[in-house]
Structure 1
Amino acid sequence: MSSYYIRLYQDTDYHIVRGIFARGIKEHIGVAFRHTLSLPQIWIPSLVMTWLPLLITGSLLTSILAVTTISGIVWFINRRIFTTYIDFSLKDDMLDIQKYYLQSQDRCFWVAESDGEIVGTVAAAPLKQTDGEKQMELKRLSVPRRHRKKGIATVLCKTVIDFARRRGYKAVVLDTSMYQISSWNLYEKIGFRRTHYCHADDYWAKYIDFIDVYYRYDIQD
């Protein structure tokens, strides 16, 4: 196992951190695409559009073009959902990381570094709650593929938990997508419990059955 350590984000990390975040999100497009193709509202119309031209015209080429077109549309919808989220995030809290996370109370951003290379990121920010309970949100957890299974993500998660505990928060919460099964396993191994599921607000996200999964870690006094 390679050695690494956790430190606070620095301005010199800016482009690297944003790149790690964007690439990590894009990894899930393929999984989402395959899931979408298995949905009845997708594969039934696709089957009809595949065989109908063949039955009417007898042209295999027309059927192939129909399948290719449908697949392309489905891929575009999935890609749009993920890239829209990336664009929003890069213009929101990831636009000025130093100001948003390190110059505000009860917020922080960390990176894991190994041999001068950033091998992971995570952030923490207070979550607004109507019931008054102090909850800290775990955000921007990402470890490049080649550095996974080294315990980096676990240490980053525990860094946020310790940060929240020191500041008197009652829980750490997060949300992830239904496609990130490996992340589910990580969170549950640490002690997070799944609380609920929720469809995304976007129309196309609902159409392709995109579901957000929410987790909570209760901090003991």
Structure 2
Amino acid sequence: MDTVQIRKYRHEDDEEAVREMFTVGMSEHVPTAFMHALKQPLVQMVLMCVFCALLTSSMSFLLPVLAVTLLLAGVRQVASHATAKYIDFRLRTDLAHIDDVYLAGKDACFWVAESEGRVVGMVACRPAPDVDNAGCAELKRMSVRRSHRGTGVGKALCRTVVAFARERGFAAVVLCTSVLMADARSLYRHMGFTETREISLPEFLPKILNYNLVQFRLDLQNNDKRD
């Protein structure tokens, strides 16, 4: 951490690095999404039914094995497509207008972590938009390059958001992350955040595959600083 500087986002210097880091970071979760899908009872039941039905009708192992292999490839493709769709959506919305979304007002900000002239992490903060979290700051777009994970960059970015929110008088910091992001959830727990609820997404595929969101909250008035 001695060589890492956390500073406010500069569009002309950081836009390309931020977009690339977000894309790579989200794409890394495709294998996790695939394995998560395979653990779901509905997916296992479909694979088993297809295998047994083809085995019974063909009396050969080759056809059912090929069919299941194709189904597995299809599940992997669905995970890849869903991830690519989400990445594209974010790159066209808030990450395409960081200055307007996160830097135009005094109660929002976007930071990057820089090491030896290279952006290695990022995080954003803005007032939570939903009524249930009125008066809270929302931590968003946390990402750290794989090369710098486990070095304290993520913790430093979290502390930056917490300090900013406390300084602005927010009651708490809230965030949502995916059930697929185990490392991120572990980091937030270590930083003092507590899970408040699990949110089921309304879309068909995320719903049946249990790609849920987990909401975290850190109450600032009762929070002690952590290492």
TM superposition score normalised by structure 2: 0.91
Secondary structure of 2:157 counterpart: helix
Secondary structure of 1:111 counterpart: strand
Q: What pairs with 1:182-197 in structure 2 (closer than 5 Å)?
A: 182-197=183-198
* Alpha-carbon shift at residue 179 of structure 1 (Å): 1.4
* Alpha-carbon shift at residue 148 of structure 1 (Å): 0.5
Is the CA contact 2:21–2:143 (under 8 Å) kept in the aligned structure 1? yes
1:9 paired residue number? 9
Question: Structure 1 stretches (4+) deviating beyond 4 angstroms?
Answer: none
| Aligned-partner Cα distance in 2 for 1:132–1:174 | 10
| Aligned-partner Cα distance in 2 for 1:211–1:184 | 13
Structure 1 residues 129 and 208: CA distance shift in structure 2, 3 A: closer
Secondary structure of 1:173 counterpart: strand
| Aligned-partner Cα distance in 2 for 1:91–1:144 | 21
* Alpha-carbon shift at residue 90 of structure 1 (Å): 0.9
Q: Report whether the alignment pairs 1:44 with 2:45.
A: yes
1:80 paired residue number? 81
1:58 paired residue number? 59
Secondary structure of 2:124 counterpart: strand
**What is the aligned-residue RMSD (CA, Å)?**
1.6
| Aligned-partner Cα distance in 2 for 1:116–1:98 | 21
| Aligned-partner Cα distance in 1 for 2:83–2:132 | 31
* Alpha-carbon shift at residue 54 of structure 1 (Å): 2.6
1:152 paired residue number? 153
Task: After superposing the two structures, state which structure 1 stretch, 162-171 or 123-132, moved more.
Answer: 123-132
TM superposition score normalised by structure 1: 0.94
2:225 paired residue number? none
1:177 paired residue number? 178
Structure 1 residues 132 and 83: CA distance shift in structure 2, 3 A: closer
1:94 paired residue number? 95
Q: Report whether the alignment pairs 1:163 with 2:160.
A: no
| Aligned-partner Cα distance in 2 for 1:209–1:132 | 24
- Cα deviation, 1:93-124, whole Å, max 9, x if unaligned, reads 10121222112331110000011111100000
Is the CA contact 2:128–2:134 (under 8 Å) kept in the aligned structure 1? no
Is the CA contact 1:129–1:135 (under 8 Å) kept in the aligned structure 2? no
Aligned residues: 221
Amino acid aligned to 2:9: Y
Secondary structure of 1:94 counterpart: helix
1:213 paired residue number? 214
2:25 paired residue number? 24
Is the CA contact 1:143–1:152 (under 8 Å) kept in the aligned structure 2? yes
Gap runs ≥5 in structure 2:
223-227
Is the CA contact 1:126–1:134 (under 8 Å) kept in the aligned structure 2? yes
Percent identity between matched residues is 38
| Aligned-partner Cα distance in 1 for 2:132–2:25 | 33
Q: What pairs with 1:98-109 in structure 2 (closer than 5 Å)?
A: 98-109=99-110
| Aligned-partner Cα distance in 2 for 1:109–1:131 | 23
- Cα deviation, 1:29-65, whole Å, max 9, x if unaligned, reads 1112112112121111211212322332233332222
Secondary structure of 1:185 counterpart: helix
Amino acid aligned to 1:82: T
Structure 1 residues 59 and 126: CA distance shift in structure 2, 3 A: same
Amino acid aligned to 2:34: F
Structure 1 residues 9 and 54: CA distance shift in structure 2, 3 A: same
